[in-house]
Homo-oligomer: A and B are copies of this chain.
C-alpha cells in the first residue's frame, strides 16, 4: 500500500519555513504499514494542485495533503479539491457552530470569513478538527483510493492524523506492516564500516534493506522491511542485527528509540525521584525539553536559568570568588551550579550547563562552543567539558543533548 504526501504553500517553496508536517505524516503512515512513494511540495496554485493530486491518485492509493485551508484568499486547496471531485460547497452546521464557539472562547467575533471555513464539499467526509477552525476532508476516489486534506497548522494536523485519519485508514484497507530497526554505531567511518560488514550485508535476505546514515562520529544502520508480518519480520531482523555484535563490538552504541529525555522521564517517574536543572548557556532549553512531556510535574521540581553571575550566586549559591577566579565557564562553577540546584530544590538529581554560546565572548583559551556541564547525584557530582560547535543555536542544542546524556549515564549506573 503506497501513499503520496503533498504539502501546499509558497512558504515551503521559498524556504520561509521548515516542513515538519510531512515528517510526522510519514511516521504515522509507516506505523500502519503504508509506504511513502513520494513527498511533494507545491505552491498555492489551482493548476499545480489539480495536476499533482491527479498524478498522485494515479500512482498511489492514498494521498495526504496539508495546507491551504485558511480563511484568506491565498488559500485555495478546498475550492480546488471540490472542483476536482465535481462537488459543490455547502454550509456544515456542526462545524460552523464549533468554529463559532472556538472563537467565542477567545473573544473573537465570528465573521463571514470564519463562516466560509464551514463551507465544505458535499461529497467529502468531514474530519472534525477539535483544535482549530479548518476542518479536514476525506474524499473517496473512483478507483478505490483515498485523498485526505488536512490543515497546515502542525498540531491541528497532528491531532487529525491521530484521531481521524489513521483509524479510518486502518479500517478501510487491509494493511501489512513496515518495520524499521536502526542500530547506532560510533567511532568508525562509513567506508570502513561498510567494508567490515560487507559479507553480512550481502547475506541479508532480499526483503531486508540496509541504509547507512552518517553523522559526526556516528553512523546509523537502518534495516527496513516493507509489507511484512510485523512480529516475524522484526524478530528475523533483530537476529540479523545481533550478528553485528561480533563484527562491531564496542562500536555499537545501541538501538535508536525514544529520545534520551524520554528515557530520563521514564526512569525518574518510575523511581519516584526528582530533578532540577541549572542552566546558563542553554538558557531554559533543557527545562523546556522535560516540561514539554506530559507528566513531567511528577519529577521535575525546578529549572533555574542563572544567566547572570548574581543569579548564580543568589539562587544557586555559587561562590562569587570562584566565578572571579575560574570564570563563569569553568568546571568549578558548573559543579557548584548543579549542587546548588540539587540542594535548593531538594531534588535527587540536578544537571547544569555553563558555556560560551557566541557569537561573541570567546577567547583563545575558551573559544565559542566551550561548554562545561555537570551532574549532581545522591552519591556525588561530576563535570565534563564538551566543545559543542560553532553556531549559537547549534551550541545550545548540542550542549542540551550532552547534558541530558550525562544525567542518563548516571541514572543507568545508579
Contacts and interface: CB of A to CB of B under 8 A. Distances in A.
Interface of A: 9-20, 22-27, 30, 35-44, 48, 52, 70-75, 103, 105-106, 108-109, 111-114, 130-131, 153, 155, 159, 178, 180, 182, 189-192, 194-195, 201, 209-214, 222, 224, 276-277, 279, 281-288, 290-292, 294-297, 300-308, 310-311, 314-315, 344-346, 357-360, 387, 389-394, 396
Given A315-B302, A360-B294, A131 B191 contact: no
A41 B4 CA distance: 10
A403 to B, nearest CB: 13
A73 B210 CA distance: 9
Q: Chain A contact residues: over half helix, strand or loop, or mixed?
A: mixed
Given A19-B19, A307-B300, A130 B390 contact: yes
Contact of A311 (B40, B114, B130, B345): B345
B296 A284 contact: no
B224 A113 contact: no
Nearest to A306: B302
A360 B292 CA distance: 13
Contacts of A153: 214
Given A131-B394, A180-B14, A304-B315, A290 B294 contact: no
Contacts of A276: 311
A20 B307 CA distance: 29
A286 to B, nearest CB: 7
